[in-house]
Structure 1
Amino acid sequence: MEVYSERQRISNAVEVLKERQLTVGLVPTMGALHEGHLALVRRALDDNDIVVVSVFVNPTQFDNQDDLEKYPRTLKHDVALLEEVDRERILVYAPSVEDIYEGNTISQKFDFDGLEYEMEGKFRSGHFDGVGTIVKRFFEIIKPHKAYFGEKDFQQLQIIKKLVEKNNIPVAIIGCEIYRETNGLAMSSRNVRLKPEYKEVAPFIYKTLLAAKDKFGIESASEVVKWVESQFSKQDLLRLEYFIIADTNTLKPVEEKTNKKSYRAFIAVYADDIRLIDNIALN
């Protein structure tokens, strides 16, 4: 399996493939790959002739320097996992910070029509500017036909769709359903850092989301929010940062339900110092 570390080399390699009329998919990751990532890669392989998997821990989307430093970096293991999926049709792009940012490691400023100010945007300053910067950079370097993102980061998915729309980038954005562990916990690279007692209690997050979905059918959004907050107040090991029921398209919190709109519940929880996010469609 070919592993590229320089943007010009991966760009040239992809250009040759496209000249042969082959379709190219992109799966952007920050590495520490798990089955959730591999599910995205398999979906991309179903849709495309070749798939580029980027492995890059992007410094500009971290508002917490400690979180950046602790983020697992396991390139050798990541490549081994990808080789088990397909040795011939996957290219890995694992650049350095210098290769991406050329000595200017700052975010571009974006306007995502307000999507960036909801939920995660209220708690992670500058995060979505960092996401927009790196994803746009990958689109410019690789020029894929399609790019694949998991719905676990649903707000990010909506923002990337907005990025493509507002910048007229010729790539189709494909959202893929959340891949979960057998206990329901949304799969994340951060899960490996959970201490045993927190790993044991973490499935409570998804269990609560499922219950909230049931309640949303018969109760108001504000009643469901209060109920979820009360459930987490009884949990000693999990600290609720936010639970929000929002319009799927605008991501703005629901004030009054209507059958004409689709809604989603979003949650962020701290298990010790590990921040876990999840979401679920409500209707």
Structure 2
Amino acid sequence: MSTPVVLHTAAELAELRARLTAEGRTLALVPTMGALHQGHLALVSRARELADVVVVSIFVNPLQFGPGEDFDRYPRTLDSDVAALAEAADYVFAPDADEVYPDRVGGEAVPAQPAGPVGDLFEGASRPGHFDGVLTVVARLFDLVKPDVAVFGQKDAQQVFLVRQLITEIKLPITFEVVPTVREEDGVALSSRNRYLNEEERAAAAALPHALLAASHAALHEGVQGTREAGIRAFEQYPLVRLEYLDLVDPTTFLPVPDGHQGPVTVVVAAKVGNTRLIDTENIERLHA
């Protein structure tokens, strides 16, 4: 079994990229924070179809965690992650924070990448500054790895929107690929944070996909308000779950859609199950008139 080569420095990446460019080979990047599961491996599998060489980055980015969030306890499982990527990825980039952000040790400062107004909505409203941190590390990884293709998962819909916008705005020559969410049998989206749930909480996490399903069914015969309300009502049968938001957004702007909207929508939802915060999303092709 072939295990990926683990790289830790920008210099090692630069050497790899120079060699691949000289050989005319393409590179796909799958950015992750580790604690890999089958959802991540689906991204890696898709990356393998799109490029000659696959690099998976594993970096728990401190800039996207706010005060009181789970940065310190976020699972760090590099050895098992590398083993899980056997025969799937060619390289793992697992840098220290000082390698990603050299200004911490007296190097050149990494420019921040503000997320703009959309970054202040939904996840951004619940986690101020989160998407500034996400876009800063993504831009930094793109600069270090210089991928031809970048592969992300649909579950983090707001992140997907903002990264796509970043690529467009700064005119990066990167093909952006989004892979559908991988789910458990009960519909719960795979997430590294699911490991925080006890048995009762794990069962209650089904509230999120059930709410998305309720909204999708309502969209066949309801408008914006009825679809939104159907999704929210689904949480009433899950007392362990505290809904933070459920809304319908225009996928081209990521802004909430007005009453009367009849085009495609993306349903976004976040809730706390016990002490664990989960998000999910579903695309709806068209709302009922």
Q: TM-score, normalised by structure 2?
A: 0.92
Q: Is residue 2:123 matched to residue 1:123?
A: no
Report the Cα offset of residue 256 of structure 1. Answer: 2.3
- Would you say the 8 A contact 1:29–1:56 is kept in 2? yes
Task: Tell me the matched-pair count.
Answer: 279
Equivalent residue of 1:213, what SS? Answer: helix
CA RMSD across the alignment: 1.7
Tell me which amino acid in the other structure corresponds to 2:11.
Q
Per-residue CA deviation, residues 84-117 of structure 1 (Å, 9 max, x unaligned), is: x33xx51000000111111439984445453212
Tell me which amino acid in the other structure corresponds to 1:281.
N
Deviates more, 1:89-98 or 1:229-238: 229-238
Counterpart CA distance in 2 for 1:68 and 1:133 is: 17
- Would you say the 8 A contact 1:112–1:162 is kept in 2? no
From 256, 269, 272, give the equivalent of 2:271: 269
5+ unaligned residues in a row in structure 2: which ranges?
none
From 173, 176, 201, give the equivalent of 1:173: 176
Counterpart CA distance in 1 for 2:50 and 2:227 is: 39
Counterpart CA distance in 2 for 1:51 and 1:220 is: 43
1:200 matched residue in structure 2: 203
Q: Is residue 2:169 matched to residue 1:143?
A: no
2:32 matched residue in structure 1: 29
Aligned runs of 1:181-200 on 2, under 5 Å?
A: 181-200=184-203
- Would you say the 8 A contact 2:113–2:133 is kept in 1? no
Counterpart CA distance in 2 for 1:142 and 1:268 is: 31
- Would you say the 8 A contact 2:228–2:247 is kept in 1? yes
Deviates more, 1:108-117 or 1:64-73: 108-117
1:46 matched residue in structure 2: 49
Aligned runs of 1:83-122 on 2, under 5 Å?
A: 83=86, 85-86=87-88, 90-104=90-104, 108-112=111-115, 114-122=117-125
From 241, 252, 257, give the equivalent of 1:254: 257
- Would you say the 8 A contact 1:18–1:24 is kept in 2? no
Per-residue CA deviation, residues 156-187 of structure 1 (Å, 9 max, x unaligned), is: 01100111111111111111111111221010
Equivalent residue of 2:70, what SS? Answer: helix
Counterpart CA distance in 2 for 1:103 and 1:113 is: 24
Per-residue CA deviation, residues 205-245 of structure 1 (Å, 9 max, x unaligned), is: 10221111110221122223233333324421111000011
Report the Cα offset of residue 202 of structure 1. Answer: 1.1
- The verdict on how the C-alpha distance between 1:155 and 1:218 changes in structure 2, with shifts beyond 3 A counting, is same
Q: TM-score, normalised by structure 1?
A: 0.93
From 202, 214, 219, give the equivalent of 2:222: 219
Tell me which amino acid in the other structure corresponds to 1:30.
M
Equivalent residue of 1:71, what SS? Answer: coil
Equivalent residue of 2:71, what SS? Answer: helix
Counterpart CA distance in 1 for 2:67 and 2:36 is: 21
From 255, 280, 283, give the equivalent of 1:281: 283
- Would you say the 8 A contact 1:23–1:50 is kept in 2? yes
Deviates more, 1:110-119 or 1:169-178: 110-119
- The verdict on how the C-alpha distance between 1:66 and 1:156 changes in structure 2, with shifts beyond 3 A counting, is closer
Tell me which amino acid in the other structure corresponds to 1:70.
R
Counterpart CA distance in 2 for 1:279 and 1:108 is: 30
5+ unaligned residues in a row in structure 1: which ranges?
none
